[in-house]
Amino acid sequence: MPRVPRCLLASLTGFVLACSGNSAGPAPASSTQASASAKPTPESIVEAKDEAAAAPPPYDLAADLDARKVDLGARVGKKTKFEVVDDVFLIAAPSGQLGASAVVTKQALKAYFNGRFTHKPERAIAVLLFDQAPPYEAYCQSVWKKPCITPYGVYEPEIRTVIMNAGPGIGTLTHELVHPLVEADFPEAPTWINEGIASLYEAFNFPKPGEIRGNKNFRHPALLAALKSKKDRPYASLPTLFAMSDTDFRGPREGLNYAIARYFCQWMDSQNQLWPFYHSFRDHFATDPTGEKAFLEVMKKTPADLDETWAKWVRAL
């Protein structure tokens, strides 16, 4: 594409600037020649206009939040209540009652940004809380023309929205909130550490403001059975976890993989080493894509060295 003269670009935005030639080239032979060389062509004008039209406008967070309120209100009801948390999280309660779900959201986010995640999402994230299954399912049908992929909840990155049915319990909320945080804080994160941290907080407690811990939950029996099985024990190991690709994680042993990742994170957190490990993994991912170097840095031993130590801890829960 021909380079558009600065004066042309300026004139399209309502300003007038003197055109300057390339200082590395020869001086114009005359003022007439210089004027002729600077004269815009119809083609360059069209190209400049196309470029200006194609450039996206600067992102406006406040406008995005307002637009989401209007859109969600139209989709799920005028009684929907809204609350903005940490500037970017728009909590929406179609039942009209923000209640405990909003309180948990605020407590969890306070803890997640207290020495855990560093970078907050730059764009609005909607957190849509239904109090029962029918309106939750109706929302999925209205947006995707098909049932929700889970009866509990999901984070949809394409629309930057957490959608959940709070009826069965609030643990899905603290799980799904992790995903947009990892997306912003560690975009290269392998699925196993992303889902491991998210699953850690499916069963949680807040020991004090700004703190969150995971409790033993429904994923423990499957992992315990695998650790006791000669057939499955090789799959339920720390070396296997660290070598796991995203495709393998979502494969036929997905349920077991969730449990391994989840109880790896709980074991690390019980020793206050989960977040030092996460930070090192995140910050050195380019040279440590598996996280094994980060693990060695904080634990002083390899995943293989501590595999049985981890398994013994799981068995004792």
Separation CA 51–CA 46 (nearest Å): 9
Specify the pLDDT at position 8: 28
Q: What angle (nearest 5°) sits at the alpha carbon of residue 230, between those of residues 227 and 233?
A: 40
When pLDDT is averaged across residues 86-94 and rounded to a whole number, the result is 91
CB atoms within 10 A of CB 213: 15
Output the pLDDT for position 18: 34
- Quick one: average pLDDT of 265-281? 98
User: Chain-wide mean pLDDT for the chain?
Assistant: 86
Coil, strand or helix: which one is 308? Answer: helix
Q: The domain 58-185 belongs to what CATH superfamily?
A: Collagenase ColT, N-terminal domain (3.40.30.160)
Question: What are the b/e assignments for 243-272, b being 16+ CB within 10 Å?
Answer: ebeeebbeeebeebbbbbbbbbbbbbbeee
| pLDDT mean over 194-215 | 96
Rank 75-79, 134-138, 294-298 by mean pLDDT and report only the highest. Answer: 294-298
Are 275 and 197 in contact, with CB atoms under 8 Å apart? Answer: no
d(CA 145, CA 139): 9
How would residue 78 be classed by pLDDT, with cut points 50, 70 and 90? confident
Of 11-20, 93-102, 210-219, 228-237, the range with the lowest mean pLDDT is: 11-20
Over residues 122-176, the pLDDT tens digits come to 999 999 998 889 999 999 998 889 999 888 999 999 999 999 998 888 888 999 9
For residues 113 and 109, give the distance between their C-alpha atoms in angstroms, rounded to a whole number: 6
Over 60: is that where the pLDDT of 4 sits? no
Q: Taking a C-beta distance cutoff of 8 angstroms, is the pair 101, 167 a contact?
A: no
d(CA 272, CA 287): 24
Report the C-alpha gap between 214 and 263 in whole angstroms.
10
Cα–chain center distance at 219? 23
Percent of the chain with pLDDT over 90: 67
pLDDT at residue 6 tops 80: no
Cα 71 to Cα 55: distance, rounded to the nearest angstrom: 25
The encoded tokens of residue 33 equal 């020649």
Contact between 177 and 162 (Cβ < 8 Å): yes
Residue-range domain boundaries for the chain:
6-54, 58-185, 188-317
List, in order, residues 6 or more apart from 195 with CB less than 8 Å away.
249, 258, 261, 262
pTM over 0.95: no
Contacts of 73 (CB under 8 A, 6+ apart): 80
Both tokens of residue 137? 């399912």
SS3 assignment, position 126: strand
Mean pLDDT score, 31-55? 59
User: Does residue 151 or residue 31 have the better pLDDT?
Assistant: 151
pLDDT over 50 (residue 12): no
Q: CA 242, CA 261: separation in Å to the nearest integer? A: 9
Rounded CA gap, 8 and 38, in Å? 9
Average pLDDT over residues 174-186: 96
- Res 25: pLDDT: 42
Q: What is the DSSP letter of 63?
A: H
User: Which two three-digit tokens encode residue 300?
Assistant: 């002083």
- pLDDT, residue 191, reads 98
Using pLDDT thresholds of 50, 70 and 90, give the confidence band for residue 7: very low
Poorest-confidence range of 43-52, 111-120, 294-303?
43-52
User: pLDDT at position 15, please?
Assistant: 29
